[in-house]
A = this chain, B = another copy of it.
Amino acid sequence: LKTFRFTVLGSSSAVPTSKRFTTACVLNIHEQFFLFDCGEGAQIQARRAKVKFGKLNHIFISHLHGDHYFGLFGLLSSLSLLGRTSTLNIYGPKGLDELVMSQFSNINYQLGFNIKFHEIDNKSYSKILDTKTIEVYALPLKHKVPCSGFLVKEKPLQRNIIKEKIEEYNISIRDIRRIKDGEDLVFEDGTVISNDKLTIEPEKPRSFAFCSDTMYNEEIIPYIESVDLLYHEATFPDEMQKRAAETMHSTAREAGIIARKAKARKLILGHFSARYKTLELFEKEAKEEFKDVFLAEDLSEFDVD
């Protein structure tokens, strides 16, 4: 089965701690890397997580708070110094383009590659990327500034051809491709071998949702229904419910309720307030709402299979 792996690069909210960097995470889909948010030091964590920079072509920024994008300057500058020449796609809110490019132009620094900025409309659910293997959608979140989450859906995989059948019927490369797409095998004499005799069902397409900074918001549930991996911010435990509301963040329990109502397979909690040294409380409270809860500790990995 091809890789579908989520790796946490930073799990702290606002201020990093000695153990937790600010928000950034990466999705490895079939050895292509997709970066979601880029807090300070994301490039260092990405190296530690063995992200292949040459296979990183899409960066998604949820909103313009420093703890979600201050790592872009260093990352872009390093990609350039490492010799990148191919275009890099960056998806984010209005203003990100200017924010990034002015930083480099102010110091007369010329990146060795082009950046294509894709401005996200944070008011509506919309497809922002469509490749051979995945589709990415922006999800409207509710936060102090315009903010989008992201939903990644793997496209249906091809059917798996049964190896013995290739030999048995001496199937050509061209026919193999057709059969993988679901077609039957038809011989010149008109004999038909139906597809279900030649192939087995492919794995179910997988999905991932990234809900970075948001207050409790049931409106996102229809979009993320049955998602395999739901990353949802959980800045505070119950005891800080009031502060969560004021700052338009979620509690761990609220993240659990969203996961349950959306029938997610797994919930990953992240974006923890720096005032908490340990995270048991977050896990415990979310688990009272939803069974499969995990903590997005820095450099932790989650495979979907």
Contacts and interface: CB of A to CB of B under 8 A. Distances in A.
A158 interface: no
A113 interface: no
Nearest to A21: B44
A64 B102 contact: no
A84 to B, nearest CB: 12
A65 B107 contact: yes
A73 B40 contact: yes
Give the copy number: 2
Contacts of A182: none
9 contacts: A15-B81, A21-B41, A40-B43, A40-B44, A40-B74, A66-B74, A70-B74, A70-B77, A99-B103
Contacts of A15: 78, 81-82
A14 B48 CA distance: 17
Nearest to A48: B18
A190 interface: no
A273 B54 CA distance: 20
Interface string A73-99: 110011001100000000000010011
Interface centre among A15, A43, A48 (most CB of B within 10 A): A15
A256 interface: no
Interface residues of A, number: 35
A106 interface: yes
Contact of A16 (B65, B74, B107): B74
A211 to B, nearest CB: 21
A78 B81 CA distance: 28
Interface of A: 14-18, 21-22, 39-41, 43-44, 47-48, 64-67, 70-71, 73-74, 77-78, 81-82, 95, 98-99, 102-103, 106-107, 109, 145
Given A21-B44, A47-B16, A48-B18, A73 B70 contact: yes
B77 A73 contact: no
A74 B107 contact: no
A148 B6 CA distance: 43
Nearest to A82: B15
A78 to B, nearest CB: 5
Contacts of A14: 78, 81
A250 to B, nearest CB: 19
Given A16-B78, A47-B16, A71 B40 contact: yes
